[in-house]
Structure 1
Amino acid sequence: MRSFAAALVPLLLAGTALAETPPSRLAEAEARDEAAAKGKAQWGSFGVDTASADKSVKPGDDFWSYVNGTWAKTVEIPADRGALSQVQRLNDLSGSQVRTIIEEMEPRRASLSGDDARVADYYATLIDQAAIDAKGAAPLMADVATIRAAKDRAALAAEMGKAARQWQGTPPLGRMPRYFPAPVEVGIGQDPKNPTSYVVGMGQGGLGMPNRDYYLKDDADSVKAQAAYRDHVAAMLTLAGVPKAATTGRAKAVYDFERAIAEAHWPLADSRDADKTYNPMTLAELKAKAPGLDWDAYLGAAGLGGRPTYIVGETGAVTGIAKLWAATPLPVLQDWMTVRIAKDRALALPKAFQDAEFAFSGGVLGGATEAPARWSQAIELTATAMTDAVSKPYIERHFPPATKAAMDDLVANVIAAMDRRLAGLSWMTPETKVKARAKLAAFTPMIGYPDTWRSYDGLQVVKGDAYGNLKRAGAFDWDRSLARIDRPVDRREWWMMPITANAYASFQNNQIVFPAGYLQPPHFDPYADPAVNYGAIGYVIGHEISHHFDDQGSKFDPEGRLATWWTPADIAAFDARKAKLVAQYDGYEALPGLNIRGQQTLGENIADNAGLAIAYDAYQLSLKGKPAPVIDGTTGDQRFFMGRAQVNKVAFREAELRKSVLSGVHSPSKWRTWAVRNHDAWYKAFDVKPGDKLYLAPADRVKIWE
């Protein structure tokens, strides 16, 4: 969970050559379709790619390598990637499938209307690099001119508010970052203590590197990244018309401003705390507690002025940033905002901007050596601008009703397994247990796609104006949020687009959500052995269910309100178990001298461990007392745990792994898989004994929900 404010801001051409879809993706799609046509699992005889296994590794020494080790030794991370994962692979696949759908529209563009025409023109304009290059930096320079024209900090705060209205958030498929145009992020979302109402929230922002540690750590890797970022700021300023940005000290001044912001930021472990980040204030209270930033100008220009309540996330950070704003020379603030705008809109600017953005964000931070294909980034931005218009034809073509029906059954079984665990908990008091089971019973699973599709009537898409389209799409989405801020909350609204390979839990709506893009092999294969599906997508279902009872989700009651509903005895018992899990993950060294942060990743670690236990129970229930068949010498329990490990088949470049540890809330893939060491059934399935590296004595195995 990010800060409250960040959680609120919650995804063809004539004469233009198009990059080809990589043959590997086409081959994979064809192999999957062929396997499905034959009623066979896509991978292996039962749904696990056993060719990836390294049988020279004992399961009890490193279960991840036992299942994925041969793959890890031979895989080549694509040049445009910092890592290669199953989730990224599926996002690439859905992106290429969406691309096919959109490009098939071009020959019949003259007959298109409405959202189809908007989607076709938006994508065609983004993909036309030659036309974007021909326009040069003029669209950006028009915005830079208004930034430079601000005569004081209040005027610049108003420009930030206007720019915030044109910002749409980070694209959903993991290909490119976006940058909010103000050091204090604002957005509209559900009030955690009154989830039937919308409210304005705000929290810390303003950094061009992943988080505060990149600015404040003094090890060799951090110092190298800091120097590279200063050079990057200079490059972006130069491209935006600032001469000699490096030699005149202007780039350094921007970096120093951001470093001071980083010093004010809360650590991620605190930013994900639902209690600490819920701080309602009136505008008068906000001005009194965070003087220095002209809140009337900023919020007014964003359309958020005059609201009765603002929920402030990281209060100390917001106060510190406001103070910095007042103390920093106006030209430095103008340069900082110029860099933010240029980075955020790089794909709609000449190639030099894109190259500079990739060189740092993809190269220095991720270790990639080649920029992502332009079409893949254009698909991301098109899908972000018109999520439902892009997703609907994808669902019609690639998500059969049988998959949704099978998922409905799986979800029901896993929920039943969680209910049994809650009912039998030894450490939870009876009165809290009743409420916990009521919360579970009130769950709303959402599978594949939303019940209704949005229309984008009123969004002006101008063919040939990529930069303007980007701004107009952001404003269209922002204005939609503004228009309904005083209306009842749509509690069936999706926060993630259906084409995305991911899943989420909504605490305020008591939901678990599984987009169609995620429900493909290896996460879900309707022709795989049930044990594999329970270990893969069943684990994910259990993971998302258990989020509602993790260190933060447990703070939300059955109606989705942030409230204390556990007794002090329950909280104490839960805290003791959490502390053991924090210590366990603190002990894992991801890179020399860099350990996983158990507190920062606690919520996901709880969900990984609980999800596995719940899914295993659900698998056993599905057998209805019958023994699981032995397939190719593997037992049902072995296939279950192998399915779990296969989902976390991820290869990292060192820079990307470092970024994951420093700024992520998930433990990296191998250590997520090592959650098996807390589960008794895994020991029996693979004959894990004392002396094996992953062996834990029964008393040391962390068990949350039993």
Structure 2
Amino acid sequence: MNRFFTVALAAGVIACTQTSKEPPAIDVLDMDTSVSPATDFDAYANGGWKKRNPMPDEKSRYGSFDKLADTGEEQVKTLFTEIAGGKHAEGSIGQKIADFYSSGMDTAAIEAAGTSPLQPYWKQVDAITSVADMQQVVIDWHRMQVNPLFVIYADADQKNSSQVIAYLHQGGLGMPDRDYYLNTDERSLGIQEKYRQFIAGLLVHTGSSKEAAAGEAAAIYELEKKMAIASMSLLDQRDPYKTYNKMTIAGLSALSPGYDWAGYFQGIGLNDPGELVVSQPEFFAGVGKLIQTEPLDTWKLYLKYQFTNFMADYLSKDIVGLNFDFYGKTLSGKQVDRPRWKKVQGTAGSALSEAVGQLYVKKYFPPEAKKRMIALVENLRVSLGERISQLEWMGDTTKQKAIEKLNAINVKVGYPDKWRDYSALQVEKGSYVQNVLNSGMFDFTWMMGKVNKPVDKSEWYMPPQMVNAYYNPSTNEIVFPAAILQPPFFYMNAEDAVNYGAIGVVIGHEMTHGFDDQGRQYDKDGNLNDWWTAQDAERFNGRTAALVNQYSQFTVLDTIKADGKLTLGENIADLGGLNIAYQALRHVLKGDEKPIDGFTPEQRFFLAYAHIWAQNIRDEEMLRRTKIDVHSLGRYRVLGPLRNLPEFYTAFNVKEGDAMYLAESDRAVIW
């Protein structure tokens, strides 16, 4: 799956838990009934939850996802503690998890080592005397998944989805996106200055004097800014045709003549990749020119900084603190760094994600949850099929193709049928830094080994312990890791209205991704292939424009508006998921509509939906996500789609003049 085209439910968080005693599905204490649901449904449904769940100092955002992840971290900690207390054969999964974790928790050894683990890589940079030398350093580091300049990865060919191909993607920046370098408003200028100070601080740890570091940081910043100027915008990256540029090494060499591309591919172990996809040609052309025109000494400073920045969180506490001050405080507004055990557990758990996932499934995941989930998925599939058949704006030819694609969607629930083999991963007791680099090398070798081979459709792209879900356009599949199958998303013992409002909408959301503004461009086999009539495509675009306009009216903070274009795909999926799940609920109710705790099934459906997006968030994080996240903020995932559903108006008696009211002519009806 193209990791730069991940249509996930949310930014992923790891968790592992299944409680034997479920919390109440609809808890009135989570609500603020002093607010009218017709005025602000997020405040009405989630106001109590927000008050009862204040923002932890270590977080920039705290919502239902994050709370579930917190509980899960404790469960994973239990697994790790059990492993640490046991005896394990050399090379076993237990040994690797235990040694990786202990290497990260040995703060005395890490402090004593200081920056010595990085010295060999700095010496590599110091020895550079030519562009060829510089390229060899990039090759060596890319093989460890330290990625200066650009990123290479392997994924299904978007126009031949049965085969894996190599992709080149822009990268090499120290800030989250190009706009962080290019914006000139007061906030952005302040962040840019803080970033230069951060670069200078890291350079001091590499051996530069404080006086020299300021000038060196300015040079690095200006180089990154030039790379940012050459970069494709996030909005353009949402167009799969703009990012699908297949070429040979000869074509790439003509596009970017400043770089020895044949030597690069040979160096990383792909002697003959055949054709490859260059996602952002303008970026690679621009970087090729920069390699020819920028002083070699500036590139050396850049490389030394990039490596140090990549490894900063695995070093001594002064460097970890420097890293947190910029990425945690300045960019996200966090007050304190996460406890060390959480960070190390996350790193070790990521390096051995499926191994940890296998342990999780064995200990925490009930098989009956999988059975019930599959039944829900099939009910939602029927509902979407009905809705497609009844669409007034779509012609019969496109409808038939859409239903064929819907019926072809593969469903994965819980965990993979086969687990990844970690026997080749080298884990040492001593060096945390080396274990991180070994993990990167292991992943890179595994990934590049797929190139020019058939796609393994049994592979998962999220581990079971991740609280998330995703749709993969290249395999036309929806995937629900085990960890999301628990409250407040999935209840084993709750009535249908709650489960359809929560996990049902999640299922519908992922299904709808197959038909959003990106996913609709892939056929039932996962190929980038236009199967729409021109007239139907035009009608679709007209209907989605209404959604863009709606979300672009939301004021995130001060004068900053939400980006309705960047978040369009996710907003389509939220709206579609609600419509599909509500229709499926109507089928299963069959007239059994008794209120529970004073709420009708329809009201409980919408309350359950709103609760999965309950969220407190810091101003800095709101701004960061508005710039770079394709998902709307939690508040607008509640307010935005509900205003388009007539059933919501009926359930909560929303009338013209109410704040939640949207004129019928302005509402979006898509799926």
Relative to the length of structure 1, the TM-score reads: 0.91
Partner of 1:618: 584
Deviation of the 1:193 alpha carbon? 0.6
Partner of 1:218: 184
Listed one character per residue, the Cα deviations across residues 252-290 of structure 1 (whole Å, up to 9, x for unaligned) are 111111111222222211112111100001111111112
Q: Cα distance, 1:5 vs. partner?
A: 7.2
| Equivalent residue number for residue 326 of structure 1 | 292
Q: Which residue of 2 aligns with 1:173?
A: none
Q: 2:634 — aligned with what? A: 669
SS of 2:154 mapped into structure 1: strand
Check conservation: 2:83, 2:97, Cα contact below 8 A. Answer: no
Which residue matches 2:621? 656
> Is the 8 Å Cα contact of residues 203 and 315 (structure 1) preserved in structure 2?
no
Q: Please give the residue correspondences for 1:174-185 in structure 2 after superposition, counting only pairs within 5 Å.
A: 180-185=146-151
Matched, 1:263 2:229: yes
* Amino acid aligned to 1:660: R
Q: Pick one of 29, 38, 55 that aligns with 1:60.
A: 38
Question: Pairwise mapping of residues 260-659 of structure 1 onto structure 2 (< 5 A)?
Answer: 260-623=226-589, 625-659=590-624
* CA displacement 1:26-65 (0-9 Å, x = unmatched): 9x97xx7352xxxxx413xxx0232121112221221111
One-letter identity of the residue aligned with 1:366: S
Q: CA deviation at 1:634?
A: 0.2
What SS does the aligned partner of 1:188 have? Answer: strand
Give the deviation of 1:538 after TM superposition: 0.7
Which residue matches 1:48?
A: 26
Q: For 2:412 and 2:466, locate their aligned partners in 1 and report how far apart those are by CA, in whole Å.
A: 14
CA-CA distance at 1:110 after TM superposition: 4.8
Q: Is the 8 A contact 1:159 1:298 kept in 2?
A: no
After superposition, the Cα gap between the structure-2 partners of 1:81 and 1:696, relative to the gap in structure 1 and judged at 3 Å, is same
Counterpart residue number, 1:125: 103
Distance 1:246 1:210, change over 3 A: farther
Question: What residue is the counterpart of 2:79 in the other structure?
Answer: 101
Secondary structure of the corresponding residue to residue 210 of structure 1:
coil
Residues 300 and 90 of structure 1: is their aligned pair in 2 closer, same or farther, counting only changes over 3 Å? farther
Equivalent position of 2:11 in the other structure: none
Cα offset for 1:607? 0.5
Query: How far apart, in 2, do the equivalents of 1:378 and 1:501 lie?
Result: 19
| More displaced stretch, 385-394 vs 652-661 | 385-394
Letter in 1 for 2:19: D
1:638–1:686 CA contact under 8 A, matched in 2: yes
Name which of structure 1's ranges 262-271 and 64-73 shifts more when overlaid on structure 2: 64-73
Q: What is the SS of the residue equivalent to 1:678?
A: coil
Encode CA deviations 1:195-222: one digit per residue, 9 max, x unaligned: 1111110121122111122111122211
- Per-residue CA deviation, residues 667-688 of structure 1 (Å, 9 max, x unaligned), is 1111111110000100000000
Distance 1:343 1:697 in 2: 50
Does the aligned pair in 2 maintain the 1:161–1:300 contact within 8 Å?
A: no
- Cα deviation code 1:350-374 (max 9, x no counterpart): 1222111111111101101111111
3-state SS in 2 of match to 1:492? coil
* Count of matched residue positions in the alignment of Structure 1 and Structure 2: 664
How many Å apart are 1:585 and its aligned residue?
0.9
Q: 2:60 aligns to what? A: 82
Write the distance in 2 (CA, Å) between the matches of 1:490 and 1:245: 53
Task: Identify if the C-alpha distance between structure 1 residues 686 and 202 changes in structure 2 by more than 3 Å, giving closer, same or farther.
Answer: same
Give me the identity figure in percent.
Answer: 37
Going from structure 1 to structure 2, the CA distance change for 1:582 and 1:273 (only over 3 Å counts) comes to same
Q: Which residue is equivalent to 1:33?
A: 19
CA distance in 1, matches of 2:256, 2:215: 29
Partner of 1:70: 48
Unpaired runs of 5+ residues, structure 2, are 9-13
Conserved 8 A contact 1:539-1:615 = yes
Unaligned runs of 5+ in 1: 11-24, 36-40, 168-179
CA shift, 1:95, in A, is 2.5
SS at match of 1:505: strand
Contact 1:414 1:614 (C-alpha < 8 Å) held by counterparts: yes
The answer to whether the 8 A contact 1:414-1:541 is kept is yes
Q: Distance in 2 between matches of 1:545 and 1:246?
A: 55
**1:678-689 aligned within 5 A:** 678-689=644-655
Give the secondary-structure state (helix, strand or coil) at the position aligned to 1:605: helix
The one-letter amino acid of 2:224's match is E
Output the amino acid matched with 2:633.
Answer: P
TM-score, with length taken from structure 2 = 0.96
Letter in 2 for 1:692: D
Tell me the CA shift for residue 113 of structure 1.
5.4
- CA 1:443–1:333: 2 relative to 1, 3 Å: same
User: In the alignment, what sits opposite 1:146?
Assistant: 124
Larger CA deviation: 568-577 vs 332-341? 332-341
Does the Cα contact within 8 Å between 1:5 and 1:312 map onto a contact in 2? no
Q: Assess if the C-alpha contact under 8 Å between 2:416 and 2:460 holds in 1.
A: yes
Cα separation, 1, equivalents of 2:448 and 2:171: 21
CA contact (8 A) 1:214 1:226 kept: yes
1:66 aligned partner, one-letter code? Y
- Conservation of the 8 A alpha-carbon contact between 2:182 and 2:225: yes
Residue 202 (structure 1) aligned to one of 147, 153, 168:
168
How many Å apart are 1:125 and its aligned residue? 1.0
- Measure how far apart 1:481 and its partner are: 2.1
1:232 is aligned to 198
